[in-house]
C-alpha cells in the first residue's frame, strides 16, 4: 500500500483502531502536530471505558489492580519515553510522552512512575476508578474459579494493545498503550513499553508497533527487527511477515499465539503482519489525509 496523498498517515491496531485514526485525524486538523495527533488518538482509546483491554476498563492483574504500560517514540531524533505498571493515572501514553521530554531518563516503572505522574500534575485516580463494573465482575468470577480450581492462576488472558503510528513528510511517531495480559503477576511487563520490542520509530527507516503476547514479541525484539528489514529495503508487509515467520521457525507454537504488528516505511508505505490467532482475527485501520480504510491482513503462512 503506498502513500498517494500529501497529508499525514495514521495507522492503528484492532477494531478500535478505527476510532483511534479518526481521533488522530481530528487532532491533526486542530494542531498539525504529528506527535499530538498520535498521543491524542492513543489516549482516546485508553480513556474509553468500553474498550476492555486498554486503560480505564482494561484487564487488571491477579490482585485486581490495573497496571498500565505505554511507550512513545519520535523518529526524527529517537527521543522516547516508556512507563510500566502505572497505577494512579490514565492515559499512560501522556505520561510516557512526558518521560520522553526529560533530559536523561527514558523508562520509569512502578512506584517511581506513579510518583513522577503525580509530581508532574497528571490527574490522580483512585486505582479503583480505573476498573469498571464489568472488569470487577470478571475479576470476581475469575477469583472464584481459581479458588474452586476450575481456572489456573498462572493462565493469563489475552489482550488487544492500542498501537498508533503517524507519518508526515518523512517524519514518524510510534505510540502504544495497554493494560497488559489480564490476571498477570503484579509488576509483569510485556513488550509494549520496551523500545525495540513493542515499538520503534526512526525516520531513516519508518515506524513499527506490535500487539500480542508481549513475552514473545519482546524476546525477539520484533519492532526493531522489522525496522531494520525496512531499512534494508523490504516493504512493511514483507518486513513484518519475515520477522513473524522467523519467530514461527524458531518456535512453531508462535503460529497460533496471536502476534501482530503494523508498520509505515520512510516513504509512507503502510503494512502489517499477523499470525493466525485462535481468538479473533487481527484488523487495522488507516487514515490517509482524511480518508479512512479498514484492512484485514492475511495471516503469515
Q: How far is the CB of 198 from ligand GLY (least distance, A)?
A: 6
Choice from 1, 45, 84, 181 touching ligand GLY (CB under 6 A): 181
Q: How far is the CB of 156 from ligand GLY (least distance, A)?
A: 9
Which one from 161, 172, 178, 211 is the annotated catalytic residue?
161
How far lies 38's CA from each of 12, 33, 66, 213, 246, in Å?
9, 9, 23, 23, 30
Q: Is 178 among the residues known to form the active site?
A: no
Neighbours of 219 (CB within 10 A): 14
| Cα–Cα dist 196/90, whole Å | 24
Q: How far is the CB of 18 from ligand GLY (least distance, A)?
A: 20
Q: Is residue 178 at the binding interface for ligand GLY, with CB under 6 A as the rule? A: yes
How far lies 58's CA from each of 34, 45, 108, 147, 277, in Å?
26, 10, 21, 23, 20
Q: Is residue 236 at the binding interface for ligand GLY, with CB under 6 A as the rule? A: no
Q: Which residue, 160 or 202, has its beta carbon nearer to ligand GLY?
A: 160
Grid cell locating 263 = 508498520
Q: Is residue 180 at the binding interface for ligand GLY, with CB under 6 A as the rule? A: yes
Q: Is residue 160 at the binding interface for ligand GLY, with CB under 6 A as the rule? A: no
Choice from 100, 172, 192, 254 touching ligand GLY (CB under 6 A): 192
Q: Which residue, 214 or 271, has its beta carbon nearer to ligand GLY?
A: 214
3-state SS, 146-201, equals: HHCCCCCCCCCECCCCEEEEEEECCEEEEEEEECCCECCCCCCCCCCCCECCCEEE
Q: Which residue sits closest to ligand GLY, CB atoms considered?
A: 214
Q: Is residue 190 at the binding interface for ligand GLY, with CB under 6 A as the rule? A: yes
Residue 287 contacts by C-beta under 8 Å, 6 or more apart in sequence? Answer: 8, 9, 10, 11, 21, 22, 24, 25, 293
DSSP three-state, residue 271: strand
Query: Could you tell me how many helices (H) and strands (E) the chain has, helices first?
Result: 8, 12
| Cα–Cα dist 94/106, whole Å | 14
Provide the mask over 204-233, with x wherever binding to ligand GLY is found by CB under 6 A and - wherever it is not: -------xxxx-------------------
Sole window of 76-84, 106-114, 184-192, 263-271 interacting with ligand GLY (rule: CB under 6 A): 184-192
Please work out the total of residues on this chain that contact ligand GLY, with binding judged by CB under 6 A. Answer: 11
Footprint on this chain of ligand GLY (rule: CB under 6 A): 161, 178, 180-181, 190-192, 211-214
Enumerate the active-site residues. Answer: 161
Amino acid at each position: 500500500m503506498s502513500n498517494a496523498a500529501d497529508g499525514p498517515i495514521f495507522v492503528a491496531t484492532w477494531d478500535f483502531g478505527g476510532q483511534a485514526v479518526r481521533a488522530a485525524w481530528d487532532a491533526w486538523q486542530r494542531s498539525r502536530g504529528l506527535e499530538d495527533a498520535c498521543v491524542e488518538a492513543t489516549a482516546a482509546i485508553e480513556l474509553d471505558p468500553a474498550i476492555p483491554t486498554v486503560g480505564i476498563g482494561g484487564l487488571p492483574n491477579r490482585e485486581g489492580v490495573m497496571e498500565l504500560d505505554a511507550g512513545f517514540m519520535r523518529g526524527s531524533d529517537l527521543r522516547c519515553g516508556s512507563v510500566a505498571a502505572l497505577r494512579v493515572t490514565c492515559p499512560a501514553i501522556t505520561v510516557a510522552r512526558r518521560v520522553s521530554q526529560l533530559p536523561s531518563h527514558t523508562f520509569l516503572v512502578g512506584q517511581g512512575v506513579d510518583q513522577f505522574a503525580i509530581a508532574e500534575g497528571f490527574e490522580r485516580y483512585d486505582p479503583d476508578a480505573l476498573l469498571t463494573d464489568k472488569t470487577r465482575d470478571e475479576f470476581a468470577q475469575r477469583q472464584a474459579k481459581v479458588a474452586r480450581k476450575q481456572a489456573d492462576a498462572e493462565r493469563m488472558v489475552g489482550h488487544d494493545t492500542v498501537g498508533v503510528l503517524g507519518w508526515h513528510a518523512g517524519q514518524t511517531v510510534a505510540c502504544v498503550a495497554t493494560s497488559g495480559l489480564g490476571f498477570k503477576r503484579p509488576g509483569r511487563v510485556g513488550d509494549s513499553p520496551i523500545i525495540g520490542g513493542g515499538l520503534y520509530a526512526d525516520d531513516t527507516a519508518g515506524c513499527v508497533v506490535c500487539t500480542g503476547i508481549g513475552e514473545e514479541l519482546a524476546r525477539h525484539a520484533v519492532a526493531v527487527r522489522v525496522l531494520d528489514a525496512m531499512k534494508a529495503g523490504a516493504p512493511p508487509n514483507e518486513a513484518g511477515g519475515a520477522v513473524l515467520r522467523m519467530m514461527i521457525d524458531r518456535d512453531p507454537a508462535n503460529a497460533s499465539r496471536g502476534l501482530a504488528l503494523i508498520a509505515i516505511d520512510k516513504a509512507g508505505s503502510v503494512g502489517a503482519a499477523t499470525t493466525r490467532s485462535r481468538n479473533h482475527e487481527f484488523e487495522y485501520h488507516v487514515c490517509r489525509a482524511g480518508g479512512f480504510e479498514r484492512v484485514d491482513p492475511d495471516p503469515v503462512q
